Structures are given as C-alpha cells and as structure tokens.
Amino acid sequence: MDFKDIRKEFPIYQNIPNLVYLDSGATALKPKCVLDKMNEYYTTYGVNIHRGVYALSYQATDEYDKAREIVSKFINCDFKEVVFTKNVSDALNKICLMLENDLQENDEVITSELEHHSSVLPWMKVCQRKNAKLKYIPLNEEGRITVENFKKVLTDKTKYIALTLVSNVMGYLTPIKEIIELAHQRNIMVIVDAAQAIQHFSIDVRDLDCDFLAFSGHKAMGPTGIGVFYGKKKILKQLQPIDFGGDMNEEVDLYNVDIKDIPYRFETGTPPIAEAIGLGRALEFLLELGLDNIQKYEKELHSYALSKLDQIEGITIYNKSSDVGIISFNIDGVHPHDAATFFDEASICLRAGHHCAQLITKWLKCVGTLRASLYVYNTYEDIDKFIEVVKQTVDFFKQF
C-alpha cells in the first residue's frame, strides 16, 4: 500500500506544513476521522451514558458499547473482557493492585530492564509491601529478552510475570508467546504491556493466551485520556475492583454493595466517553490501513534511515536490529538534551532522555538517548531532513 497521500488525513500537517514528527513512540498524530468522530459525539449526542432514560443517552451508551466491541474484535476477545482506563499506566497499576492480594511473602515476580516505568514500578512497590522478590530476566548482549534467559529466572516461587511486548527504547519484540506457554505450565499469570505494540502488530490475545494485556489509545492514533486492559474472563470475575463509586454497582444498602458484572465493575464514575468512541474509530482506521501494510512501510523507512545513519561517523546507534521504527542513538560525547535543541530548531520533533525507562538506559550505560520513532505518516523527505540535522549536529560538536 502507498501511504503517499496519507498526510491529508492528519490535520496537523495542514497547520504545520514543515513539521517533521519523529516522536510517535511518545504519542501518534491524530487522523481527521478520529477528531470528527469525537466532535460528532460532543455536537450531536454528547450526554452521559448508562444513566439517562432518554434517547440521546441510549445513543451515547450505544456508541460507547460499540467502541468496546471494536476493541474486543481488534484484539480478539470477548466484549466483557475489555476494561476502559485512563491510559496504559492506569491499566497496569490497576491490574497490579488487584493481583496484590494473592502475592505472598517470598513469592517472585519476573520482569525486565526493558520495561517502561509504568510496567515495573507498580510491581516494585507491591513487592516491597509484600516482601516478595522482583527478578529481572538477564538481557542478552543486544539487550533483548530471550526465552533461554527467561528460563534462568523462572522458579517454583514465580507468581506473576510482567513484561513489555515491544520496548519503547530498543523497539525489540519480546518472545511473549513462548514465555506465556512456559509460565502457564506452572500456573503463573502473565501481564503484557502492549503500549508500543498495538499500533504496529496484529494482536490476538486468545492466540497469545496472555492473562492481561494493556495499551493506551493515544499511541494508536486515538485520543489521550483513554486506555484499555484486557483480562481473561475467568480471572476478571474473581477480582475485586480497586475503585468504588457510581455506575459500578447493582445494589447498595447501609453496609453492603453488590457490584456489577465485568467489565462495568472496573469502571466507576463517568468514563471518558468521547475518548472511548474516538479510540474505536482510531482502531478502525488502523484496520483500514492494514497493520501489515503499516509494518511493511515502517520497515522500509526504518531501513532507509539506518542505511543513512550508518554512513555518519561520531554517532552510536543502540538498536540497529529494532523490530519497529524506533531508533535510539547518541551523538558521541554529547548529552542527548543538548543535541535535541538542534533538532528542535529544524522543526524536527524527537525525544531525548531516558524515555521513562531508566533501567534500559542504565543498562546501555548512558544518561539517555535521542529517540526517533517512525510511523505511517513519515516520509523519505522526513528522514533526509533528520539525517541532515544529525550531520550538522555532529559537525558542530566536533569543533569542541
């Protein structure tokens, strides 16, 4: 598929024609269809859901339900297994807190140094509270999680495994299916952070057989303020919600509350209605583009960028074999924040720092990296402009 004309779908390019946006790992740009869908909600039926006994409220409830249906089809699960949250951080925290009850002293939780803070910090805190042990899969020399190395930390005491599906710094795809298979042989639950995967790969939670999987809408061209967690029905049914309040209960009396069925028991208060509806449209848009097409185009752009970067002396690229269009690099001897100002001056948006994943930047033995993350709306011209600024920045700092 040719993505030549795709920028027409993204109003930000009409407003900032010279924008070179290489920060899709932080958040993706939003297509017009998503903005229109949200605007339609606010301008034609923008009322609350589940409460009103009038037509507009039924319509809003219907659209909200449709969004959940789209998500469930997108990741291949049941409608009831999809819970809306604020973002993936919120989702991962909720999952962790709900599972905390079953974590005992001396139990072990396996994670990795590739995790975003949102995936590892909730478990770090829970393990501290419970006197449980957090264990890290040793990364191989490239910085990848391997099944071999996973086996080295798997023990009879392992209770949970919390792993990223794609690293936001290295772009590596975790061999999660094999890990889940091994985990399930020992009745261990696996929680997957799919924040950097959902926008690139087809995800089938039934095929993966993961117990939980979470992502944010905004990295998949949806709005901010909406995230999702999937949980297996039989597990969700046994969990107590973290938050209590309106709309998550059936019956309340003086000393008791009878909570609703899944997924509603996990969504208290007025949810992000427009955002859920917008996310539904974003996922439809991804399907219209075709995830395979997105991946193929991104790969071509990524190879092109790498081939150009390879010719520049004075830079270090940390993840040449990335599985998605993420390039983490540094200008040798230059702090990434100092280098980033050169890109900003050229209207090139990229990220500099530890990317909320300090464990991997420490593993790489650097204070942080520059990160260019590519997506469907990027062009070969974007890459050329980016390469030009890399060269200029190297030349500038060479003088000192």
Q: Which residues participate in catalysis according to the annotation? A: 356
The number of C-alpha atoms within 13 Å of 298 and in the hemisphere containing its C-beta is 25
- CA-based end-to-end distance of the chain: 46
> For ligand PLP, which is the closer residue by CB, 116 or 144?
116
Give CA–CA dist 276/164, Å, rounded. 23
Place of tokens 């208290």: 268
> For ligand PLP, which is the closer residue by CB, 30 or 116?
116
> Per residue, what are the HEC states of 2-16?
CCCCHHHHCHHHHHC
> For ligand PLP, which is the closer residue by CB, 88 or 359?
88
Percent helix, strand and coil across the chain, each to the nearest 5: 45, 15, 40
Give CA–CA dist 164/295, Å, rounded. 19
Give CA–CA dist 108/247, Å, rounded. 35
Instruction: Kindly state the tokens that stand for 107.
Output: 């139990």
CA angle 12, 18, 19 (to 5 degrees): 50
Shortest separation between residue 198's beta carbon and ligand PLP, angstroms: 10
Contact set with ligand PLP (CB under 6 A) = 87-89, 116, 118-119, 164, 168, 193, 195-196, 216
Instruction: Kindly state the tokens that stand for 161.
Output: 């495994």
Under DSSP, is residue 264 helix (H, G, I), strand (E, B) or coil? helix
Give CA–CA dist 328/172, Å, rounded. 12
Shortest separation between residue 190's beta carbon and ligand PLP, angstroms: 16
Shortest separation between residue 217's beta carbon and ligand PLP, angstroms: 8
Cβ–Cβ < 8 Å for 75, 230: yes
> For ligand PLP, which is the closer residue by CB, 193 or 275?
193
Residue 40's Cβ-count burial label (10 Å; 0-12, 13-18, 19+) is middle
CA distances from 371 to 224, 271, 325, 353, 368 (A): 21, 33, 10, 8, 9
Give the number of other Cβ atoms within 10 Å of residue 305's Cβ: 24
> For ligand PLP, which is the closer residue by CB, 61 or 118?
118
Give CA–CA dist 232/205, Å, rounded. 9
> For ligand PLP, which is the closer residue by CB, 87 or 378?
87
Alpha carbon 183 to its chain's center? 22
The number of C-alpha atoms within 13 Å of 73 and in the hemisphere containing its C-beta is 11
Cβ–Cβ < 8 Å for 85, 76: no
**What is the 8-class DSSP label of residue 332?**
T
